[in-house]
Amino acid sequence: MDFGICTASKIDEIGYITHAENLGYSHAWIADSQMIWSDCYAVLALAAQQTRRMKIGTGVSVAGTRLAPVTANSIATINQLAPGRTFLGIGTGNTATRLMGHKPMKLKEFAEYLRVLRALLRGQEVDFTWQGQTHPVQFLMQDHKFINVEEPIPLYVSGFGPKAQALAGEYGEGLVMSVPPNPGFMHRALQNAEAGAQRAGRSLADDFYTASLTTVVMLRPGESLASERVLRECGAFVIASIHYLYDKIRQFGGDPPGHLRQIWDEYSAQVEATPETHRHMRIHAGHCTYLLPEEAKFVTPELIKSTCLAGSPEEIIDQVRGLEQAGLKQLMLLPSFETQYQVIEDFAHQVMDKL
């Protein structure tokens, strides 16, 4: 199992990435959400120059906010700085689009985006449609090393549902998701990716890479999941799962899952106190960075267990092994911003060192 970090992109906080590298983390995933964080590619450029071994890339870049050739150019530029250790995570968008009041890219458009992106990252010519016109495009002057597409840039596709996971198998070298600590979810995700690969006339490669976003709660002796320390360490990540579900139900309809039904009406009323014109900005306030005080009561032990690795270090080691046996190849951690250094240190010493 590989272990990585995902971080809210902060242009003057590259030290967190180098600290993770020194602790033995293999990957740094730099988040892309232009309305709340620093530009991910600017952060990656600095990280490329301040790391030596760690693989670096987007976690994940958003198709809906950049043309496919622009995204390909951005990551190929980083690959010129960190050749052979650059990857591209790509998705349809969550906060990057929703915080502007827009929905994520539709999957049909995303499939076309991935087709173009995959070809460009391989240095190939590909037909690209923009503003109703289709023309062939290809990176020029490659021999002058403005960018680097000679060293492979793995394409990891973000997919939470079966159709998006199938696109990862069809176009990508890997699948990025956020699965609960339940091996059954991994089995289904890989089946979906395999279906996509078969659609493209192949099977999933043996080195098809799977990575899951989560965070970790390592309980101290006698401590419960309701402790203030636990809330500080994981609250921002846990509440983001409610933000995501609220927007999903708002868009597609349906009911909340069973573990959220008790709090759903109160949570919805809290969000809906904000006028509709500005509600899209309220829903994701503090996203994966800090926990709003008024939302702390919604972070229940049950919700923590359904979204995070939680328990004693020994219990977490068992959870990691179960996910690895189910086919997961990397766990990436996204702790709350104020506790991130401590969380990745504790995990490195108490879990990674014992695996």
Domain of 35, CATH number, reads 3.20.20.30
Q: Is residue 10 part of a domain?
A: yes
Total domains in the fold of the chain: 1
Q: Is residue 17 part of a domain?
A: yes
Give the pLDDT band (50/70/90) at residue 181.
confident
pTM above 0.85, yes or no: yes
What is the pLDDT at residue 259?
86
Distance CA 163, CA 192 (A): 7
Q: Is residue 19 part of a domain?
A: yes
Q: What does pLDDT average to over the chain?
A: 97
Q: What is the mean pLDDT of residues 43-58?
A: 99
What is the pLDDT at residue 241?
95
Q: What is the mean pLDDT of residues 6-22?
A: 98
82-115 pLDDT, tens per residue? Answer: 999 999 999 999 999 999 999 999 999 999 999 9
Residue type, 245: L
Distance CA 285, CA 292 (A): 8
Q: Is residue 271 part of a domain?
A: no
List of long-range contacts for 70-74, beta carbons under 8 Å, 24+ apart? 71/117, 72/116, 72/117, 72/120, 72/121, 72/139, 72/149, 73/139, 73/147, 74/41
269-289 pLDDT, tens per residue? Answer: 999 999 999 999 999 999 999
131-158 pLDDT, tens per residue? Answer: 999 999 999 999 999 999 999 999 999 9
Give the pLDDT band (50/70/90) at residue 180.
confident
What is the pLDDT at residue 179?
80
End-to-end CA distance of the chain: 9
Which two tokens mark 212? 């899951």
Give the torsion through C-alpha atoms of 324, 200, 131, 101, to 10 deg.
Answer: -30
**Strands 133-137 and 126-130: what pairing?**
antiparallel
- Please give the share of the chain, as a percent, with pLDDT higher than 70: 100
Is-cis flag, bond preceding 60, omega within 30? Answer: yes
Q: Is residue 103 part of a domain?
A: yes
Query: Which neighbouring-strand residues pair with 91?
Result: 62
Q: Is residue 72 part of a domain?
A: yes
Which two tokens mark 141? 């002057």
Q: Which domain holds residue 22?
A: 2-219+309-354
| Other Cβ atoms closer than 10 A to 300 | 16
Q: Is residue 254 part of a domain?
A: no
Give the pLDDT band (50/70/90) at residue 182.
confident
Q: Is residue 314 part of a domain?
A: yes
Residue 305 backbone dihedrals phi, psi, to 5 degrees: -65, -25
Q: Are 56 and 86 in contact, with CB atoms under 8 Å apart?
A: yes
Distance CA 309, CA 182 (A): 10
What is the pLDDT at residue 291?
97
Residue 232 pLDDT exceeds 90: yes
Q: What is the DSSP string of 176-228?
A: EE---S-HHHHHHHHHHHHHHHHHTTS---TT-EEEEEE-EEEPPTT--TTSH
Tell me the torsion sign for CA atoms 109, 112, 113, 114.
Answer: positive
